[in-house]
Amino acid sequence: MDTLQALREGFAAALTFANLMWALIGTTLGTAIGVLPGIGPALTVAVLLPVTFSLDPISAFIMFGGIYYGAMYGGSTTSILLNTPGETGAIATAIDGHQMARKGRGAAALTTAAIGSFVAGTLATMGLTFFAPVLASVALQFGPAEYFALAVLAFCGVTALLGASLARGLFSLFLGLALGLVGIDQLTGNARFSFGIPQLLDGIDVVILVIGLFAVGETLYQAWHRGREEMEVVKLHDFTGMNRDEWRRSWKPWLRGTAIGFPLGVLPMGGSVIPTFLSYVTEKRLSDHPEEFGKGAIEGVAGPEAANNAAAAGVLVPLLTLGLPSSATAAILLAAFQQYGLQPGPLLFSSRPDLVWTLIASLYIGNAMLLVLNLPLAGVWARVMLIPRPLLFGGVLVLASLGAYSLNRSMLDLGLLYVVGVVGLVMRVFEFPLVPAVLGLVLGPLSEQQFRRAVAISEGDVSVFVTRPIAATLLVAAAAVLVGPWMVRRWSRRPLQEPAAR
Amino acid sequence: MRFLARVPLAVTVAVLAAAPAMAQPAYQQLRIIAPAAPGGGWDQTARVMQQVMQRTGVVRTPVVENIPGAAGTIGLARFIGAERGNGDALMVSGLIMLGGIVTHQSPVTLDDVVPIARITGEYEVLTVPAASPFRTLDDLVRAFKERPESISWGGGSAGGSDQILAGLIADAVGVAPRRVNYIAFSGGGESLSAILGGQVSVGVNGLAEFAPQIEAGTLRALAISSAERLPGLDVPTLREQGVNVEFENWRSVVAAPGIGQNDRRRLEAAIDAMVRSVEWRDMLQRYRWLDRYLAGEAFARFTTAEERRVREILRELGTGGEGAESPAGAGPYPLFVLAGLALFGCAAVVNLRTHRIPNAEARWPKWRSVALIGVGVVLNLALAERAGFVVASAVLFWFVARAFDERRPARDAAFALGVSVAAYLLFARLLQLSLPSGWLAGWL
C-alpha cells in the first residue's frame, strides 16, 4: 500500500538522533507552555520561528508538531490540580479533574488524561494518515447553516450542565451570551457595547473569562472560606496511578472522546470548546452514575482530554490537505510553511511528500514521547497539591495576571480579569454554575454569526436549516439531546410501574 | 518580473553591491508591531521585515509583537498610547487599517502617527470553485446585474480591502454598491473553506493566499485586479473583461507620534536599506508581494488621498457608521440576549429567596482575607505599568499569601520576589513578551 510505504519512509527520516532531539525539545517546551495560563502554542511557535530559520524545515516542523501536541496535553495539568484551565480546551477537564485532585486522586486524573491524550492522539493521527483527503472534502460541505445547527446541538448539550437550579443555570448562560455581544459585529463591522473603548472592539477574550472565573474566583473563594475547609489536606499514599476500577471506567470515554473530537477538529471552525464539552455531556448522559459528575467522575476527565487531543490532530487535516488554517496555531503553522517557501494545500502531498510524511511520522513519535514523559510525572505533579496554601494561591494569581496581561498587553484585560474574579466569587457563593457562562461566550457569537451568514446567503430564506441534509440531521440530533433523557426516563419507568399496578 | 522593471536598474545594481557591506547595525533593537494575530498578512510582513533586517545587519535584534483585533485599530490605539516618542518602534499598517478606522469609527487615525513608507502591494482575485456554473467574469456579472442579492461575495473582515473591491466592481457594472450581498469571514481560512465548499457564489481575496488553490485547479480565478495579466499566472484582468476597476491592497510602516526629526530620518534610512536588499527581493517573490516602495512626503500625500477614497467607497457600500444596513443586518439578537439576562436574573433572585443556599449563610466569610487580596489586586493594577511587573507581581503574591497565612511574612516576601523574577524572566526573556520592566529596568 502506498500510504504505508510513504509512512515507513517518513518514520525512517524522523527517527534520526537529531530529529528525536527536536521532538523531545518540542514536546517538553509545549507541555511547559500549555501549563501557563493564557500562553498558547500559537504564540510559542511564532516566537520560535526566527530561531528555527537556520534549521532545515523537517526538523523545525518536527519541533512545532511536538509543541502543538505538548501544549494540548499541558493544559490539563493546571486544570486538574489548581482548577485553573491553561487553555479553553481544558475547561471541561477542570470540572471533575479538580474534584478528583481534592479527593487525593490527582495522580489518577493526570494519568487518565495522559493515556487518553495518547490514545486519542494516536488514533486521530491514524485518521489523518489514512483518511485526510476524504475527511477534508466532507468538511467543506459544512457551510454557515451547518455550523449554526452544530451550535444549536452544543446549546442543547449545555442543558446537562445547568446544575440544580434552572434559573441560576440559565442566568449564567445568558451572562456569557451578553458578554459575547461586546465588540465588533463581524458581519457589518459595527461596534456593539464597546462603550468607545478601543480594547473592547475585539470583544472579551474567552481566556480572560476562564482564568478570571476559575483561577481568581477560586482563590477568592478559598480566602472567603478559609479555615472552614482545611480538611481537604491530601493524603500522601494516594499519589499512585489509576486503579483497576478507574481503568475500567476510562477506556470507553477515551474512545468516545476520540470519535467526537477528531471529526469536529477537522471542521474548519476552530476551537476545542465544543468537542470537549460534547464529550463531557455524552459521558454524563451515558454514565450509570450521572450523580457523580461534578464530584470527581473519572469519565469526565478521560473523555474531554481525549476529545481535546483528537480535535488538535483533526485541525491538521484541512491544513495539510487544503492549506486551510482553522485555528490560531494552524494559521501560524501555515505562515511557518510559507517561510520555508512551502505552500500547504492540494499540491503539498505531491510536491514535498518527504516533508509531509516525516511530519506525520513525528506526530506518532511525539505522542509516544509525551506519554513516556508525563506518566512518571503524574505523581510528581500531583504533589503540587502539597505546596502550602499561601504560596500556592500567591503563585496562581501571579501566573493568572501575567497570562491575562500578555494576551494583548492591555491593562484593561488585567482589570477585567479581577472584575470577572469577583463575579466568580459571587457566583460560587450563591452556587451559580460557572461553565454555562463560558459556553455562552463561545457559542453565542458563533451561532449568531453563522445564522446571519446562512440567512444572508439564502437571501432571507430560513428554510435552509431544514432543506440542507447535514444541517437538518444536526438539528434532529439536537432535539434528541434535549428531549431524549426525558423520553428514556418515561420509558424506563413504565415497566417498573406496571408490575406495581398489578 | 514586472515589478522589477519599476525600479531603475542602476539603483538595483548599486544596492546589490552595497547591501552586504553594511558593517555596523543602525539599530541594536527595533520593535515591529504587527496589529494582527500571528499568521495574517500584517504579521507576515512584520516577520519578513524582522528576518531581512536581521540578515542584512540593519538591526541587530528586531522583535515582533502582535496586538490583534478590529482591523488593526486596537494595535493603532495601543501604539499611539504606549510608544509615544519611542524612536525604536515601527508598526505595520495599510489599506485595511484605513477601512477599519472608518468602519469601526476609531477614535485614533493614521493622522496620529508618523508616516514612514508604503512598502508592498498585493492584487486581489475573484475566485469560484472548479464546479461553479460561472465560467467567466461575464457569467457572474450577468447574474449579478439580474438579481444582485442572489450573488454572495465571500471575503475578509467587513470594511476591509475585499469588501472595498466588491463595492468598486458593483459600481463599475452599474449596480448600487449597497446591494452587494457581502459575507464577511473572520480570517483567510474561514473564507477559503466557504469558497472551496461552494457556500458562497464568489470569493474576493488577496492573491497570495489563494494562488496555490488556483494553481492546483481547485479554484477557478475569474479575474485579477491588476492592470495587466501577471506573468506565470493565466488569469484575465477585470479591465480586459470590461469591468473598469484596478485595485491593490497596499501595506506600509508607520512610526510612533512625538518622535524627533532625527529618529524619523533614521527609521526611513533603515526601511530604505531593507527594501533595497537582495533578501527583501527574494521575500517579495516568495510571498507574491509587489514592490510598492514609496517614502517621505509622497507617501503622506498618498495616505491622505487613499483615506478619502476609502471613506467614499465605504459610505456607498453602507458599511460602518450610522445608518449602516447590509443584507445581513443586526436583527433582534442583542435584544433577545439582554431580555433573557434580565428575565433569568429576576428568576434567580426569586429562586435564591425561596431556596436557602448553605454556602452563603451557614459559613462565616473571612472578610479580612478577601480584603487583603483586594488590596493586593488594587496595588497590582496601580503598580503594573509604573513600577514594572516584577514589583507589581511580588506585591500581589505577598498580599495573597498573607490572606491565607498571618504568621510568616518574611518567608512569603522571599517567595514573592523569587516567583515574580522567575515569571518575568520566563515571559519577557524566553517568550519575548514585552512586559513593563519599571523600576528594575536596569537590573533585568
- Average confidence score pLDDT of chain B: 82
Choose among B197, B327, B373: nearest Cβ to A223.
B373
| CA pair distance B250, B232, nearest whole angstrom | 22
pLDDT of residue B99: 87
Average pLDDT, chain A: 82
| Number of cross-chain residue pairs from A and B with Cβ atoms under 8 Å apart | 341
Q: Exposed e or buried b for every residue in A413-427, given b needs 16+ CB within 10 A?
A: bbebbbebbbbbbeb
| Alpha carbon distance A153, A148 (integer Å) | 9
CA A81 to chain B, closest CA, distance in angstroms equals 18
Residue A307 pLDDT more than 90?
yes
Cβ–Cβ under 8 Å, residues B75 and B36: yes
Cα–Cα dist A305/A299, whole Å: 10
| Distance separating the N- and C-terminal Cα atoms of chain B | 49
CA distance A207 to A407: 9
A186: contact with B, CB 8 A cutoff = yes
Of the pLDDT bands very low, low, confident and very high (cuts 50, 70, 90), residue A421 is: very high
For residue A456, which residues of chain B lie inside 8 Å, CB to CB? 152, 181, 183, 326-328
Q: How far apart are CA A442 and CA A445, in angstroms?
A: 7
| Chain-chain contact of B184 with A167 (C-beta, under 8 angstroms) | no
**What tens digit of pLDDT does each residue of A31-45 get?**
877 777 767 777 777
Taking the C-alpha atoms of residue B164 and residue B166, their distance in angstroms, rounded to an integer, is: 5
Q: Does B352 touch chain A (CB under 8 A)?
A: yes
pLDDT given at position B6: 39
Residue A50 pLDDT > 80: no
Looking at per-residue pLDDT, the higher value among B287 and B236 belongs to B236
Q: Is pLDDT of A415 > 80?
A: yes
CB–CB contact B380 A401 (8 Å): yes
pLDDT exceeds 70 at position B18: no
pLDDT digits (tens, 9 = 90+) for A177-193: 999 888 878 777 777 88
Residue B247 confidence (pLDDT) above 80: yes
Residue A240 has a pLDDT of: 65
Q: What pLDDT shows up at residue A499? A: 47
Contact B51 A50 (CB under 8 A): yes
| Whether A411 and B381 lie within 8 Å, measured CB to CB | yes
**Cβ neighbours, 10 Å, residue A312:** 30
Interface of A with B in 241-260 (CB under 8 A): none
**DSSP β-bridge partners for residue B90:** B32, B255
Q: Which residue has better confidence, A197 or B261?
A: B261
pLDDT(B16) > 50: no
Tell me the C-alpha distance between A439 and A176, whole Å: 7
DSSP 3-state assignment of B342? helix
- Give me the mean pLDDT over the B64-74 stretch: 80
In A54-105, alpha helices (H):
57-82, 91-102
What's A235's DSSP letter? P
Nearest CA to A173 out of B147, B126, B344 is that of B344
Position B260 pLDDT exceeds 60: yes
Question: Do B368 and B406 meet the contact criterion of CB atoms below 8 Å apart?
Answer: no
pLDDT top residue among B206 and A46? B206
Q: How confident is the model at residue B21 (pLDDT cuts 50, 70, 90)?
A: very low
CB contact under 8 A, A202 and B420: no
What's the pLDDT at B223?
A: 94
* Residue A293 host element (H or E): none
Q: What is the reported pLDDT for B12?
A: 41
Confidence check: pLDDT of B1 > 50: no
pLDDT value of position B318: 76
pLDDT at A87: 75
Q: Do B69 and A201 touch (CB under 8 A)?
A: yes
- By percentage, how much of chain B surpasses pLDDT 70? 86
The predicted-structure confidence for B407-439, as pLDDT tens digits, reads as follows: 788 888 888 888 888 888 877 776 666 677 777
Per-residue confidence band for A380, with pLDDT thresholds at 50, 70 and 90: confident
Residues A77-90 have a mean pLDDT of: 80
Task: Judge whether A184 and B101 are in contact, CB under 8 Å.
Answer: no
Convert the pLDDT of each residue in A134-161 to its tens digit.
888 888 888 889 889 988 888 888 877 7
Measure B238 CA to nearest chain A CA, in Å.
Answer: 24
Sign of the CA dihedral A278, A111, A374, A400? Answer: positive
What per-residue confidence (pLDDT) applies to B134? 93
Whole-number Å distance between alpha carbons of B312 and B304: 13
- Residue A341, pLDDT score: 73
Residues B273, B56: contact at Cβ < 8 Å?
A: yes
Query: In this prediction, what percent of chain A has a pLDDT beyond 90?
Result: 13
Least confident of A309-318, A373-382, A492-501, B30-39: A492-501
CB atoms within 10 A of CB B10: 8
* Partner B contacted by A191 (CB < 8 A): yes
What does the longest C-alpha to C-alpha distance in chain B come to?
A: 86
Over residues A452-490, the pLDDT tens digits come to: 889 888 888 888 888 888 899 989 988 888 887 777 777
Per residue in A318-374, pLDDT tens?
Answer: 888 887 777 777 878 887 887 777 777 777 777 778 888 888 888 898 889 888 888
- Encode pLDDT of A226-277 as tens digits: 654 544 555 544 556 778 888 888 889 999 999 999 988 888 766 788 889 8
For residues A75-102, average pLDDT: 83
> Distances in Å between the alpha carbon of B433 and those of A194, A406, B444?
26, 7, 14
Rounded to the nearest angstrom, the minimum Cα separation between A434 and chain B is 14
If one compares B324 and B245, the residue with the highest pLDDT of the two is: B245
